[in-house]
């Protein structure tokens, strides 16, 4: 190898080392400005859900479940960051099942984008209500709050808990890690209000009746939070609007897990005579 070849090889190595390696494709390319751990090519291929077809569950395609009705839910709406395809499945698998914790910040930043979409939607609805001559008394205080320049903001993030066996196997709760990122970026407190009483398995492979039976009594209020939660509620007073809580999970498949969590949270807040609005955010929507 001549001197020129050695020099060119050394220059190429130097340039490559100065360009970050993409977490997804492993290539040394220009990093995405919004998601710095991946390259611009991989960032451009992310199937973001910007305008969901179903305004209830946030699905990006037609939703027969919500159109069919019949299942009541305390959740006002769900929003998800991305559509669940093969690439997203591999990303989640790397993090959730293979323990590659470098994906933690990436997935959290992606979820944060879904939060901003939900926030924008709720603020838009507030502006519409404020301009309506038929505004209800209950919306008066929300409109007053918006008029004072205080925009919509969640009050609390609640991650979906994992079972003890899952926690022992993985070493972490992926929903809690996702909630951590949104909490830190948006200044929203996070409380692990719930515990999972038993492992329920994948809900996507089960029929409606089996899902409902499987999720019955699957979650409960965390014993550690039973004393802490009233103190936290007391610190929130005075409030002239419902308490706005967001449940956080990695993926929305059938919605049965989120509904079960929301029902427990609703029971907790009703016990303290608090009005509550419950939403859910997931990283992906199948």
> From CA 96, how far away is CA 94, in angstroms rounded?
6
| Residue 11 pLDDT exceeds 90 | no
Element holding 18 (H helix, E strand):
helix 3-18
DSSP string, 34-94: SSTTSBHHHHHT--B-SS-S-TTT--SS--HHHHH-----SEEEEEEEEE--HHHHHHHHH
Shared domain check, 114 and 221: yes
Domain closes at, from 30, 50, 70: 50
pTM of the predicted protein model: 0.86
In a domain, 235, yes or no: yes
Shared domain check, 100 and 46: no
In a domain, 16, yes or no: no
Predicted pLDDT of residue 112: 98
In a domain, 1, yes or no: no
Domain closes at, from 50, 70, 94: 50
In a domain, 195, yes or no: yes
Shared domain check, 133 and 44: no
pLDDT (mean) for 242-267: 94
Shared domain check, 150 and 38: no
**Residue-wise pLDDT tens digits, 180-209:** 999 999 999 999 999 998 877 665 566 666
Shared domain check, 198 and 239: yes
In a domain, 272, yes or no: yes
**Residue-wise pLDDT tens digits, 98-127:** 989 899 999 999 999 999 999 999 999 888
Domain closes at, from 35, 50, 65: 50
Which residues contact residue 64 at a Cβ distance below 8 angstroms, ignoring those fewer than 6 apart?
Answer: none
SS3 153: coil
> From CA 261, how far away is CA 246, in angstroms rounded?
11
Q: Given the structure tokens 């395809």, which residue do they identify? A: 85
Counting the structural domains of the chain, the total is 2
In a domain, 39, yes or no: yes
Shared domain check, 132 and 119: yes
The b/e string for 249-259 (b: 16+ C-beta within 10 A; e otherwise) is bbbbbbbbbbb
Tell me whether strands 194-196 and 219-221 are parallel, antiparallel or unpaired.
antiparallel
Shared domain check, 68 and 126: yes
> From CA 250, how far away is CA 53, in angstroms rounded?
20
Shared domain check, 239 and 203: yes
Shared domain check, 239 and 218: yes
Helical residues (DSSP H) of 86-217, grouped into ranges = 86-96, 103-131, 137-147, 164-170, 174-186, 208-215
Q: Which domain holds residue 179?
A: 54-285
User: Measured on CA atoms in the order 266, 268, 269, 270, is the torsion positive or negative?
Assistant: positive
The segment with the largest mean pLDDT, out of 10-24, 135-149, 172-186, 215-229, is 172-186
Shared domain check, 89 and 168: yes
**Residue-wise pLDDT tens digits, 61-93:** 888 778 776 668 899 999 999 999 999 999 999
In a domain, 276, yes or no: yes
- Ranges 106-115, 132-141, 173-182, 244-253: which has the least confidence: 132-141
In a domain, 12, yes or no: no
Shared domain check, 159 and 29: no
* pLDDT > 90: percent of the chain: 56
Q: Given the structure tokens 């998601």, which residue do they identify? A: 35
* pLDDT > 70: percent of the chain: 81
Shared domain check, 85 and 38: no
Length of the chain: 286
**Residue-wise pLDDT tens digits, 147-175:** 555 689 999 999 999 988 888 888 899 99
């Amino acid at each position: 190898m001549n001197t020129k070849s050695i020099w060119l090889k050394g220059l190429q190595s130097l340039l490559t080392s100065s360009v970050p390696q993409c977490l997804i494709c492993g290539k040394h390319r220009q990093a995405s400005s919004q998601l710095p751990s991946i390259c611009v090519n991989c960032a451009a291929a992310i199937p973001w859900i910007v305008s969901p077809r179903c305004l209830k569950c946030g699905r990006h395609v037609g939703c027969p479940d919500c159109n069919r009705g019949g299942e009541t839910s305390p959740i006002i709406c769900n929003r998800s960051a991305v559509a669940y395809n093969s690439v997203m499945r591999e990303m989640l698998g790397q993090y959730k099942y293979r323990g590659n914790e470098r994906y933690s910040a990436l997935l959290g930043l992606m979820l944060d984008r879904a939060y901003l979409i939900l926030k924008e939607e709720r603020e838009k609805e507030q502006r519409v209500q404020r301009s309506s001559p038929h505004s209800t008394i209950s919306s008066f205080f929300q409109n007053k709050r918006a008029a004072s320049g205080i925009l919509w903001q969640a009050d609390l993030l609640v991650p979906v808990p994992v079972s003890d066996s899952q926690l022992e196997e993985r070493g972490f709760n992926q929903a809690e890690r996702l909630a951590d990122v949104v909490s830190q970026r948006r200044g929203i407190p996070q409380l692990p209000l719930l515990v999972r009483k038993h492992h329920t398995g994948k809900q996507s492979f089960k029929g409606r009746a089996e899902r409902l039976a499987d999720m019955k009594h699957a979650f409960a209020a965390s014993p550690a939070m039973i004393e802490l939660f009233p103190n936290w509620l007391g610190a929130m007073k005075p409030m002239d609007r419902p308490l706005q809580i967001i449940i956080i999970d990695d993926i929305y498949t059938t919605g049965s897990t989120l509904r079960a969590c929301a029902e427990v949270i609703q029971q907790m807040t009703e016990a303290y005579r608090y009005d509550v609005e419950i939403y859910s955010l997931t990283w992906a929507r199948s």
